[in-house]
Amino acid sequence: MSQPLIRLDGVRKIFAGEDVETHALDGIDLTIDFGEYVAIAGPSGCGKSTLLSILGLLDTPSEGRYLLNNRPVESLSAAERARTRNREIGFIFQSFNLIGDLTVYENVELPLTYMGMSGADRTSRVTRALERVGMAHRARHLPGQLSGGQQQRVAVARAVVTQPSILLADEPTGNLDSHNGEAVMQLLRDLHADGATICMVTHDPRYAAHATRSVHLFDGRVVPDDHAGTTTGVGGAAAGARRD
Ligand code: ADP
Ligand code: MG
């Protein structure tokens, strides 16, 4: 039986500027079950990154509810929020966001240090995560000594090293050539096959097709399935069975 990991009800995000308000999210209802691989698609400016930031506890909704693992996120204290983000969320950014003066190894170790994990446990976890993404041989390099594709693999290792409940990826291939992009996408597919729950923003329909379900956004709203066009990129048996 499917079990929701994430549930958004009526989530809105309004950015107040000097003289204009931007309704980046305009009433989002979304459920993501354990083990799903969801692609978020839609044109530039439709709210994809805003949605992912809220899911990743990097930003807060202006209105609406967010239940993560049945817990209302809005009830968390600042410390609980930071702890939840550290333990439950793995974030992969378009621009990798590795720390330039830390080695590959140290970048991947950092979230475990925040968790308060002991040195010996950290070593085995970091080693395994780097092996998982094929980057163990570059452990002592600095990010600047790596190609973009290699940096993104390290960023994937950093995101999975804490064994989070969900991996969030915001256009993870956006800064990569197609060869390296495909390698990172294959990595995400392998992680999903091993049980990871993934929510990925992409505007590339080929990559959206890797997911088990696509959610289309337009002007801060979810486009109903029957209006999402014919090339929705929805694949697999799970797609037809879902009702949110
Ligand atoms: P996408 O990722 O789909 O391209 P975004 O979520 O980045 O879209 O942005 C959605 C809308 O919200 C855009 O109109 C954008 O300009 C606006 N926006 C995003 N972040 C901010 C911010 N911090 N302040 C003001 N407006 C913002
Ligand atoms: Mg974006």
Q: State if residue 48 touches ligand 1 by the CB under 6 angstroms criterion.
A: yes
The protein residue whose alpha carbon is closest to atom 7 in ligand 1 is: 49
pLDDT confidence of residue 225: 81
Q: Using pLDDT thresholds of 50, 70 and 90, give the confidence band for residue 235.
A: very low
The protein residue whose alpha carbon is closest to atom 16 in ligand 1 is: 45
Residue 42 covered by a domain? yes
Ligand 1 centroid to residue 24 C-alpha, Å: 6
Give kind and range of the element (H or E) at residue 6.
strand 4-16
pLDDT confidence of residue 227: 65
Residue 187 covered by a domain? yes
pLDDT confidence of residue 240: 37
Task: Return the bridge partners of 28, or none.
Answer: 11
Q: What is the mean pLDDT of the chain?
A: 92
Residue 158 covered by a domain? no
Q: Using pLDDT thresholds of 50, 70 and 90, give the confidence band for residue 204.
A: confident
For helices 104-115 and 119-132, the axis angle rounded to 10 degrees is: 130
Token reading at 53: 């930031």
Residues present in the chain in total = 244
Q: Across the beta sheet with 4-16, what order do the strands follow? A: 21-33, 4-16, 63-68, 71-72
For residues 20-37, give the mean pLDDT.
97
The protein residue whose alpha carbon is closest to atom 21 in ligand 1 is: 15
* Closest ligand 1 atom number to CA of residue 53: 6
Q: Using pLDDT thresholds of 50, 70 and 90, give the confidence band for residue 123.
A: very high
Token reading at 207: 């990559």
Domain range for 85: 6-98+164-238
- Please give the model's pTM, rounded to 2 decimal places: 0.91
Least confident of 24-28, 163-167, 224-228: 224-228
The protein residue whose alpha carbon is closest to atom 10 in ligand 1 is: 47
Residue 234: pLDDT above 50? no
* Closest ligand 1 atom number to CA of residue 171: 2
CB 94 within 8 A of CB 52: no
Number of domains in the chain: 1
Q: State if residue 50 touches ligand 1 by the CB under 6 angstroms criterion.
A: yes
Q: List, for residues 156-201, the tens digit of each pLDDT value.
A: 999 999 999 999 999 999 999 999 999 999 999 999 999 999 999 9
Distance of CA 191 to the CA centre of its chain: 13
Q: State if residue 47 touches ligand 1 by the CB under 6 angstroms criterion.
A: yes
Ligand 2 centroid to residue 8 C-alpha, Å: 19
Residue 195 covered by a domain? yes
To test the ligand 1 pocket, which listed residue (11, 12, 13, 15) has its Cβ within 8 A of the most ligand atoms?
15
Q: State if residue 44 touches ligand 1 by the CB under 6 angstroms criterion.
A: yes
Q: List, for residues 48-74, the tens digit of each pLDDT value.
A: 999 999 999 999 999 999 999 999 999
Residue 107 covered by a domain? no
Residue 77 covered by a domain? yes
Q: List, for residues 107-120, the tens digit of each pLDDT value.
A: 999 999 999 999 99
Residue 205: pLDDT above 60? yes
* Closest ligand 1 atom number to CA of residue 44: 4
Residue 241: pLDDT above 90? no
Q: What CATH number corresponds to the domain at position 13?
A: 3.40.50.300
Residue 196 covered by a domain? yes
Ligand nearest to the CA of 22: 1
Residue 139 covered by a domain? no
